[in-house]
Chain A
Amino acid sequence: MDFLAHLGMGFGIALTPFNLMMAVAGVMVGMLIGALPGVGPPSGVAMLLPLTFGMEPTSGIIMLAAMYAGTMYGGTITSVLINTPGESASVVTCLDGYQMALQGRAGPALGIAAIGSFIAGTIGVVLLMLVSPLLARWALSFGPPESFALMLLGLTTVTLLGGDDPLKGYISMVFGLMLAMVGFDIISGEARYGFGIPEMMDGVDFLPVAIGLFGLGEVLAGTEEKGGAQVKGKLRLREVLPSLADWAKSKWSIARGTVLGFAVGVLPGAGPTVASFLSYTVEKRVSKTPERFGKGAIEGVAAPESANNAAATAAMVPMLTLGIPGSATTAIMLGGLMMWGLRPGPMLFEKNPQFVWGLIASQYIANVMLLVASTALIPLFVRALRIPYSILMPLIILFCVTGAYSLKNNVWDVGQMLVFGVVGYFMKKLGYSPAALVLALVLGPLAERSLRQSLIISDAGIGIFFTRPISAVLMVLALAAIAVPLAKWGRSRLSSKA
C-alpha cells in the first residue's frame, strides 16, 4: 500500500533531530503566542516566517504548522484565567472557561481543553491524510475557470464570515486585490503602478503587509491600555487533570467538536474561529441542561476547544491540495510556500511528496507535544504571562522590524511594514478585515492569471465560468456569498424608508 509507505517516509522525515526540534519549538512558541493577547496566530506565523528562510521548506512548514496548532491551545490559557482571549478562536471559551475559573476549576477547564485539542488534532490529521490525496487527485482536472471560481469563493466566504459589516469586509478584500495589481504583470511583463520606483515595480510583498497589519497594528491598538490585564495565582500540574466525571460529561462534546471543526475548517474561508462558535452553539442546543452554559459548563470549553484544533488542521487541506487558503494564517503559510519555491496545489502531492508527508507526520508528533506541553508545562506558561506588557510590546515591535527586514535585506520593506502597521491600526479601530486584505493580496496574482487565461480560452466571454459544471457550482456559491449581504442591505434600506 503506497499510502502506508508514504506515511512511513513522512515519519522518517519528521523524526530527524532537526525537524523534531522544529516541531517542539513550534508548539512552544505557538502556545506562548496564542497566550499573549495582542499577538494572534497570523501575526505569529508572519513574524516567524523569516526565520525559516534559511531552512529546508519541509522544516519550515513543520515549525509553522506546529506553531499554528500551539496557538489554538495557547489562546485558551488566557481565556480561562483572565477572561481575555489570546486569539479569536478562543473567544467563545471565555464564556464557560472563565466561569469555571471563578469557581476554582481553572485546572480542569485547561485540562479538558488540552485533551480535547489532542484528540481533535490527531483525528484531524488522520482525516487530513485521507482526504487530501483524494481532493488533490480530483483537483488535477481543474482548469483556469475552476481555479478562478474556487479563489473567488474563498475570497467571498472569508469576507462574509470575517466581520460584522460585510461592506467593510468587501472593501478590505478589493483593496487587497488592488494592492496585488502593483508590480509586474505576469502575462504581459509590464510594470503597473510603479511610479518609476524600482521597489514599487517589484510589487507589494505580502509579508511586510501581513507583519504590519497583524503584528504592529495589533500592538498599536493595544498601547491605549498601558499595562493590560495580569495573571495572578499559580497552577500546579495535579490541578490540571480533569476528573472522571468531567471526562464523562465532555467526551461526546469533544467528538462533536472534532467532526464539526474539521468539516468547517475544510471549507475555504471558514477557519477555527467560525468552527469554535458553531460548535458552542451546537453543544448548547443538544444539551439537556442548556441553562448551565455560560455558568461554567465543561462542555462549553471542551467542544469549541476541540473544534478549533480540528479546524486548524483541516484548514491545511484546501491550502495544500487546492492552493486556496481558508484563513489569514494559512494565507500567510501559502505565501511562505511560494517563497520557498513550491507551487501549492494538486501537483504538490506528486512533485513534493516528502514535503507533504513530512508535514502530515509531524502533525501527529506536534499533537503529542502539545498534550505534554499543555499539561506538564502549564505552570511555566502561567508564569510567562506575567511578563509586563511594557517589556513585551517593544520586543514584539523589534520582531516585526527584523522580520520585515529579513525578507530581502532592505529597509524599504521595513518602511512598508510601518505604513501597514498604521493602516492595520485604523482597520482594527474602524471594523475592516485585515484577514480579507491579506488573503486577497496573496491570491490576487493567481486569481488574475486564471481569470485572464479563462477569458483567453473562451475568447473573452464570461460564459466559460458557468458552462463548465464544477466552475458553475463554485461561481454560483461565490455569487450567493456576495448577494446575501447586498440583499440584507437593500432590505434594511427599504424598511428604514418606510
Chain B
Amino acid sequence: MEFIQFFNENIVLIYLLIFAAILGFEVISKVPTVLHTPLMSGSNAISGVVIIGAILLLRTARSDDYLTLSLGFIGVVLGMINAAGGFAVTNRMLEMFKKKK
C-alpha cells in the first residue's frame, strides 16, 4: 500500500529515473577501449554532483548547530575533492592523447 502510494505520488520522479538510466546506458555503449579509463574517471567526477546535497545541507543548517555544520563542511570538502580532482585527473589523461594526432 505504502509502495503504491509512493509510486502514485512520485510518478514524474520514476519517469525521470528510468529515462536517465536508459540515456546513461545508450550514451556510452559504443566507446572504444582506449577511452575506458578516461571515461570512468570523467563519470566519476560527475558523481561528485553529490556535493550539491552537502551545500544545501550547510545552507539550511542552523548557525549554532555545529554538528550539522561540521558534517556539511566535511561533505562539501569530500564532494569537491571528488569533482575537482576527478575532472583535473581526466583532463591530464586526455591531454596526453591530444599531443600527438
Q: Are A and B part of the same complex?
A: no
B residues sitting closer than 8 Å to A (CB atoms) are none
